A and B are shown apart, each in its own frame.
Chain A
Amino acid sequence: MFVPSVTNPIGDFVRNLVPQVTAYLPVAFQSETLDSVVAFLINAVICIIAVCAVNIGSAPILIYMERKVCAHVQCRLGPMRLGWHGTIQTIADVLKMLFKEVYAPSGADKLMFYTAPMIVLIAPFMVCALIPFSKDLVVADVSMGIPLIIAVNGFGVLGILLGGWSSNNKYSLLGALRSGAQIISYEISFAMILLFVVMISGSTNLMDITMSQQGTVFDWWIFKIPVLGFIAFILFFISSTAEMNRAPFDIAEAEQELTGGYHTEYNGTPFAMFYLAEYIALVTNSALATTCFLGGFHAPCIGIAAVDNVLNMVPGLVWFFGKVFFMIWCYMMVRWTFVRPRVDQLMDFEWKFLLPVNLVLLTAGAAWIAISG
């Protein structure tokens, strides 16, 4: 019989469910191959439901949060009218966006134009499936987690390039080209920092990386290695901001220059998909930062038994999302504080500053491993 790679509640659930489902099928087809096919399909359905629930559920919350954070940074109140403190505002906006007429500009390559937002959505969804949300809650616990994330994360740029090119608009094309250059450049730093994490934790599996940070706060990778961990965290923060096309590195959208960049011509549902992808990327990058540097789902224990027992009583899922939302809050504060660098300065920053620093960091990490054994 097909055995899922992890022993967790989801795995047990699937294992119980498979015989029940196969019982309904004709006897002539009963075989071990059928079992594994059914198990695979059930797994896929569960994965899709779980990932969709997390992603699509978090998007309205994040949009509401962004509006409120932005408003309070700017001495405003933000949405206040619809629902308590404007809580229903986002849902109303989402509904409005979904019911809008969808049309493509004349001269646009229709097939590419409508495929692009879907491609953009794939990448963050796939990354989300790899993140261990809790000790027993990981959709796909693959051994090559980090390389897969690096591979998949760069996939979104294809959608952005396609969307910009197929819009038949020069601003869109400029935005797409900027975005292509930017994401491909920052991908290198992004991958190198993850490589640093792999090096110090000794595993490419995200669950193993999380488990290697078990213990107190000072066992998290951000603090465990003196200074280096913190530098790596800051570098990860910078390169993931650029990777997500988020302000201050949002030169691909650059409202003031390109009137919206690659999604200038999009409206209605396709635009909502770009928007959704942006926010899911925010969740996945924050989750990645949490997993790699902030101890994943582990409670922030401080080494005093009485306090730690209380902290450990809170489920890991809560700690995980608490940390994720803290990271999201950091990304938002940065977005609403800094101004945007120019496109060539952004490239200079990557190739002349971030990359050399990363190389030094990798070397220093290797030295630290050699010294500490």
Chain B
Amino acid sequence: MTGMLPPGFRIQRETNTEEFFINMGPQHPSTHGALRLALRMDGETIVELVPHFGYIHRGMEKQAESMSYLQYIALSDRQDYLTAIQNNLGVVIALEKGMNIGVPEKAEYIRVMLQELGRIASHLVFFACFGGDLGGQTCLLYGFKEREMIHDILEEVTGSRLTTNFFRPGGSRYDVPDTFIPRVKAFLDHMDDTMKDYERFLSKNIIVLERSKGIGILSKEDAIAYGCSGPVLRASGVNFDVRRANPYSIYDSFDFEVPVTYNGDCYDRYTVRIAEIHESMKILRQCIDRFPTEGPWRAKEKPVRLPVGRYYSEIETAKGLYATYVVAATTGEKPYRIHTRGPSFPHIAALNKMVQGHKISDLVTILATLDPVIPEIDR
């Protein structure tokens, strides 16, 4: 095992009796999946950290080469399972660029609404895990409680709760049921009240403030250099959101803020996500007001075979920038290569920079605020 570690990581027993090695994971309760962290420790203080991946590698990108494009949409659910519905859209947008297919207005509204519901669901899981990793087991249940309501809506619309497999080039698999808009409206009204409770639960709690302020600071330069995106990048003071910088779907027609904070510590990453939940709710309300009840929900044209070329799409999932790069070498149903750029990998890469000099308890806090999903790193 020591052969896999970088040179400075090997602990010389004769010369260095202060430092010791701890293996955190892959079966550790706070590594959010099968992630293994090799820690060099000085007492409880972390000197160095090396993340190890690959425990649940399934070779998705290789599998995609022997699959049709539509089958790959189903596979994209299994990458970041918390934002499955958003991954679907990322793949679909890349395909649409090649197919030159138009998306009707109603389909676009369905997309945006499901995107924002997915974002709220993912951020609720973050809220739950953040509280849970700090030791407040009750938060864990509270976050999941509201997420269940979103999943109920998703179940009604897409037919499945977690792995949605919903969007198709030119629209989606089904039309939304009539109950969709009232249910989302009821959910938003419910969320308004519960978010107040949740914020009272963690945002102003003195122990949470003590444990998250000034912990795991990621500077603006480092965040850009490591390729961080999403809430982690915005918490470090970079105003970058794909929905604003490079709008896809109909995001340019909505009025919403991009929350940015400037300290880059754990508390800022928490507040950015909480603010994003509010912004997503704002977008959902605008969608409800303008939702076209009439009109087609998918394009008239049948999805055609993808012509030869290279197609790239990037979207903003709850975790950050999710990009899909499709290379079609022959006109057909199968890609030559599909590559996915997931947001969690750069975040874990930056982990070493953030944890040095902190305690092992802080590592858990920092890891929770990075909100990684390991299947998306391993793929």
Contact = CB atoms under 8 A, between A and B. Distances in A.
- Our verdict on whether A and B bind, yes or no, reads yes
B275 interface: no
Interface string B110-148: 000000000000000000000111111111011001000
A340 B20 CA distance: 25
B211 A345 contact: yes
A95 interface: no
A339 B211 contact: yes
A341 B359 contact: no
B28 interface: yes
Interface stretch (A39-47, A209-217, A237-245, A253-261): A253-261
A174 B360 contact: yes
B361 A254 contact: yes
B238 to A, nearest CB: 28
A339 B142 contact: no
B359 A170 contact: no
What band does the interface of chain B fall in when counting residues whose beta carbon is under 8 Å from A? Answer: 20 to 34
B210 A76 contact: no
Given A257-B30, A259-B29, A342-B210, A247 B135 contact: yes
A345 B131 CA distance: 18
Contacts of B208: 339
A339 B207 CA distance: 7
Interface string A146-177: 00000000000000000000000011001000
Interface in B21-44: 22, 28-30, 44
B133 A256 contact: yes
A342 B30 contact: no
User: At the interface, is chain A mostly helix, strand, loop or mixed?
Assistant: loop
A257 B133 CA distance: 8
Contact of A259 (B28, B131, B133, B142): B28
B205 interface: yes
A240 to B, nearest CB: 18
Contact of B141 (A76, A251, A256, A337): A76
A353 to B, nearest CB: 12
A344 interface: yes
A291 B22 CA distance: 45
Interface residues of A, number: 29
Contact of A337 (B138, B359, B361): B138
Interface in A288-340: 336-340
B137 A257 contact: no
A257 B360 contact: yes
Nearest to B134: A339
B137 A342 contact: no
Interface string A192-212: 000000000000000000000
B242 interface: no
Contact of B361 (A73, A76, A259, A343): A343
Contacts of B210: 341-342, 345
Contact of B211 (A170, A171, A178, A341): A341
Contacts of B142: 74-75
A250 interface: yes
A75 B145 contact: yes
Nearest to A348: B210
B50 interface: no
B321 to A, nearest CB: 29
Return the 9 tightest CB-CB contacts between A and B, nearest first: A340-B135, A74-B141, A339-B136, A339-B134, A256-B30, A342-B361, A339-B135, A256-B133, A336-B138
21 contacts: A73-B138, A178-B44, A247-B135, A248-B135, A251-B361, A256-B30, A257-B363, A257-B364, A336-B137, A338-B136, A338-B207, A339-B135, A339-B211, A340-B134, A340-B135, A340-B207, A341-B207, A342-B210, A342-B211, A342-B359, A342-B361
Given A75-B141, A338-B135, A340-B135, 19 more contacts: A74-B137, A248-B207, A256-B29, A256-B135, A257-B30, A257-B363, A337-B138, A338-B205, A338-B207, A339-B131, A339-B134, A339-B208, A340-B136, A342-B210, A342-B211, A342-B359, A342-B362, A343-B44, A343-B359
